[in-house]
Structure 1
Amino acid sequence: MLFVDFSSAFNTVIPYKLITKLGDLGISTPLRYWIMDFLTNRPQHVKSGPQLLLHHHTQHWRTTGLCAEPVLLYSLFTHDCRPRPMYGSNSITKVCRYDITVIGLISDNDESHYRAEVEHLATWCADNNLLLNTSKTKELIVDFRKVKRETHDPIHINGMAVECVSSFKFLGTHISENLSWTANTSSLIKKAHQRLFFLRTLKKNHLSTAILGNFYQVCNREYPNQLHYSLVWELLCRGPQGKALQRVVKTAQRITKTPLPAIEDVQKKRCL
């Protein structure tokens, strides 16, 4: 898997290329001209000066070539970024605004199709004025064979080698080369302990139990959701990682003095 990173993807889109692609998608000419006018030659000004609060300020004007276009327009701009049909073992995933992931299935140690797909993607990016950030682009290899290759020749993009990593954070989830949930669970526990610090601080300031419970349920809502959704897939609530997660919930329960559902109970509910 190759996790591709772009440098200022929104700001490097050329408007006339976008308008051409919108025409290929059947967008009407008046709407395309309206979008073109919206994206180009837009003056902006900044108010500055020591008397800003007293409404005595200086206005500095500048004209921008392309503003940060909406995510929808960028998605339409990259609609033709697809895997080549001749390489049926490869796929390209486009999610989360401008993240692109190249996934290749390697059979019989033949990486030619996978590497050709990466080269095709690099060429497509160059033709569309999208700058690949090779230093932040990472490669992850999942290999369950008993006899593994000792070395792996790195992928090169624009003359630079792509780093091969053992795990990568993708859409908030840590994916490991052995597809285990250890790294992801450890990250969740670390984040949870950081947020429990605020709970303890509120308790030291003698806030009520109701406020502490609301803080955990509202401000920490991202943590329990990630925690529970992970458990739905990994089914580790009875293993050591599940016990470590449950200890975090028990700690929050002691701080808030509010009954909180057990990890295993939430897991069963989410699975259903």
Structure 2
Amino acid sequence: MARHDSNTIIKLADDTTVVGPITDNDETAYREEVRDLAMRCQDNSLFLNVINTIVDYRKRRTEHAPILIEGAVVEQVESFKLLGVHITNKLTWSKHTKTVMKMARQNLFPLRRLKRFGMGPQILSRFYSCTIESILTGYITAWYGSCSASDRKALLRVVCTAQCTTGAKRPPIQELYTRKCQRKASHSSHPGHRLFSLLPHGKRYRSGLLNI
């Protein structure tokens, strides 16, 4: 639970991320949150790895005092990985898409090997869905919508290459992205759920702001 309402603490297993807005260069709330978290870990005999990173998203970055955890300076970096997604201080997704494409291309080799060994289209398609497609669409609702046109074309080339190998048409990344966004928007727990309603044919959502 965050000490300040303006801050958010994201926890998953042994990974904890503190996120906080900085208004008018006032970092007080964020620094107090980090200090409070470090003290809680110390009081509960929890080892806190001080080799951590911090990313500053402000357009106008100024020199500021370093953040300390147990006397160690927290390094400021240009990008970091959160739950498998590479986030940069400029909020661009080229670094993440390049990483995703590299991993997906590595799996094109065993796909070709399976075809050479005489595996049928059904097995090849299943292998593609379980490996390459799952890599390309991991957390896609968080990053694909803000991708550059060149990054989207590069991702599409991976799909086209796999398509030639499997001999079966694969859904484009844009279609998978739209489908996943619709699925998320249909959940009542989604903050934008009330903005969407199904059109009469039940295949697309109607919104006053957006037609998917």
Fold shared per TM-score above 0.5: yes
TM interval, short-chain normalised: 0.7 to 0.9
1:111 maps to 2:27:
yes
Secondary structure of 1:174's aligned partner:
strand
Q: 1:191 to 1:214 in 2, by over 3 A?
A: same
Matched residue, 1:263: 173
Shift, 1:227, TM fit = 7.0
Distance across 1 between alignment mates of 2:34 and 2:143: 34
Contact kept? 1:232, 1:270, Cα under 8 Å = no
Shift, 1:90, TM fit = 2.5
Distance across 1 between alignment mates of 2:134 and 2:128: 10
Q: Which moved more, 1:119-128 or 1:200-209?
A: 200-209
- Correspondence for 2:7 among 75, 87, 90: 90
Contact kept? 2:107, 2:132, Cα under 8 Å = yes
Shift, 1:231, TM fit = 5.7
1:122 maps to 2:38:
yes
Secondary structure of 2:90's aligned partner:
coil
Deviations 1:177-198 (A, max 9, x none): 1111111111111111111121
Distance across 2 between alignment mates of 1:179 and 1:172: 15
Contact kept? 1:156, 1:162, Cα under 8 Å = yes
- Correspondence for 1:153 among 53, 58, 65: 65
Distance across 1 between alignment mates of 2:168 and 2:16: 43
- Correspondence for 2:160 among 250, 258, 267: 250
Shift, 1:204, TM fit = 2.7
Gaps of 5+ in 2: 183-212
Q: Which amino acid aligns with 2:95?
A: A
Stretches of 4+ aligned residues off by more than 4 angstroms: none
Does 1 or 2 have the higher relative contact order (CA < 8 Å, sep 6+)?
A: 1
Shift, 1:110, TM fit = 2.3
Q: 1:139 to 1:182 in 2, by over 3 A?
A: same
Secondary structure of 1:210's aligned partner:
helix
Deviations 1:10-69 (A, max 9, x none): xxxxxxxxxxxxxxxxxxxxxxxxxxxxxxxxxxxxxxxxxxxxxxxxxxxxxxxxxxxx
RMSD of Structure 2 on Structure 1 (CA): 2.1
Contact kept? 2:93, 2:147, Cα under 8 Å = no
Contact kept? 1:232, 1:271, Cα under 8 Å = no
Superposition pairs of residues 27-106 of structure 1, within 5 angstroms = 82-84=1-3, 87-94=4-11, 96-106=12-22
TM-score with structure 1 length normalisation? 0.61
- Correspondence for 1:216 among 109, 123, 128: 128
Matched residue, 1:12: none
Distance across 2 between alignment mates of 1:107 and 1:249: 43
Q: Which amino acid aligns with 1:93?
A: I
Contact kept? 2:137, 2:173, Cα under 8 Å = no
Shift, 1:88, TM fit = 3.9
Superposition pairs of residues 117-266 of structure 1, within 5 angstroms = 117-135=33-51, 137-145=52-60, 148-149=61-62, 151-226=63-138, 228-230=140-142, 233-234=145-146, 236=148, 239-266=149-176
Q: 1:271 to 1:116 in 2, by over 3 A?
A: closer
Matched residue, 2:202: none
Secondary structure of 1:102's aligned partner:
strand
Larger radius of gyration: 1
Distance across 1 between alignment mates of 2:180 and 2:9: 30
Secondary structure of 1:240's aligned partner:
helix
TM-score with structure 2 length normalisation? 0.77
Secondary structure of 1:93's aligned partner:
strand
